[in-house]
Structure 1
C-alpha cells in the first residue's frame, strides 16, 4: 500500500496505528501476484489481509492451507462481492474472520451468514486533527459537502438504474439532493487541493459539513466530527448509521430525505446560535474517544486474541 495513493485513511490505520500498538509486532509484505505463505510458518501468529480480492492482496497465497495461521481480512465494498468474485477468495485465502466499517446487516446482505464479521471503525488518524481552527473563525454562510455524487440528468439516471447495486443514486441519493441547495459548497472526491492528509484542512474551513451515504455510514461521518464540524449526518433505518453511537442534536444533527432542507436551513438562518458550536465540540469529543485509529487497533487486537491462545 502506497502513501501516495489518495486513500491515506487506510494507510494510516494499517501502516501507522497497527505498527504503534504496544501488543503488535507488525511485518509487511508487498502484494505481488503470488505469495508463498509457507515461509510464514512458525514465525507469525496472524495473517492480516488488505482485502478479499487481488487489489492490494496477492491473487494466490501458495500453501495457505498447509500452515496453521489464522487469516483475518478487511473488507471494502460489500455490495460488489459477487460482481468482483470476492466470495470465492474465502476458501482461496482460507479466511477465518472479516472486519470493516460496514454494518453487519449490510455485510450479510451480500456474504454468507457463516462468514464471521466484526465492525471496526478505523479512519481517523488523531495527529491530523490537532490544532483545530476555532469554530468562530470558520465559514458560517455555507455548508460543506464533499465526495462522490450522482447526477440529476435524466440520461444519467436512466443509465444508472441499470447498474444495480453499483448505482450512484442508491449510494448518494441524499448527498446529491443536498448539493443542489444554494448554501451548500460542493467539492468532488479529488478535484481540489485538499486530498490525502490535507482533507481535514478542508473540513476545518467550515463550521458545518454534510456526511450522507444512503446505504451505510462511511469514514466521512467520523472524519467530519473529528475536524470539529457541526455534522449533518444521514441516519436512517436503511443505512444503519446509528451503530456509530452519535446522538441526534447532541453530537450530530441527523438528516434524512424528509427533513434535510429544514434542518440545514435552520443552521444557515441561525448561524450564531451557540448550540451549534456545542454540538460540534461534543461530536469531536465523542469521536476522539471512540472512533480513532487507535481505538480501532485495540478492537482488531481483541479479534486477534480470539484466534491466538
Structure 2
C-alpha cells in the first residue's frame, strides 16, 4: 500500500455528555472529508484524543469510520501506547473491523533505547496482520526515531510508512533519503505548516489536522504541487497560517473541534482534562474562519 496525498487527522465526534462516540456526526464528518477530496482518514491520533478514549470507544470509532468510508479511501487507526502487548491487542481489534493500517506512536512517559524501540515495533509487526505506519512526534513523547533506528525499521516490509510530526525539515529529509529503496514506503509530514516543504523534498503527502476544516485548501496544496503550480500552492500553504495561529488559543484539539461546529459539522467537546475554548477567543476564531469561506464553501455559524 502506497499512501499519497492529504490524509485527514480526524477529530473524534463525541456525544453531548462526552460518553461515547456520536455515530451520526462521525458519519457526517467522514462524508464531508471524502466528498472534498482527502486521500485517507487517520483516526485516533493526537487530534483524535486517543489518549483520553477507552478501548471500547476506539474500536467503535474505527468501525463507524470504516463502514462510512466503504472502501473509497483507506482508514488508518492509531493503536499506539506504552505497552507492546496492549498495542498489539488493540491492533488486532482494529483488524477485525477492517482498518487498512495502524499508526503506532513511539512509547511515551518512559525513555527507551533504540534497541528497545526497534524491538517494540518488530514485536508488534509479528503479532498483527495489519501494515504499520510509524508515528514520530518527539515534542509530545520525548523520543525521536533516530536514523539508526529508522534504517533498521524500514527493512521490515510490514512497516509501510512514517508520519513525522517533528517539524524538523532535516528529520523529514533523513526519513525520505533512508527509505528510497522501498517503493511502497510513504513518508508523510504531520506538521501542517510544512506540507509544501515536505512535498518539495520528496514526501508522499501529509497527515493534516487542519484538513478537518480547511479541507479544500489542504487538498489543493497537494494537487497544485502535483500539477507543477508551485506558486499557487505556496499561496495556499501560507494561507493556513492564520488558522494555525488561532488553533493555539486552547489546548489541542479544543479550537479545532470548536471550528468544526462553526462550519456546520459539530463534533462535540473535548475529553477532559482539555477544556473548551474560552469565550474571549470566539469572535477572533469566527473572523479568521470567515476568510476561508470562499474557497471552502462554508458559512461560519
Structure 1-normalised TM-score? 0.33
Q: Which has the higher helix share?
A: 2
Structure 2-normalised TM-score? 0.33
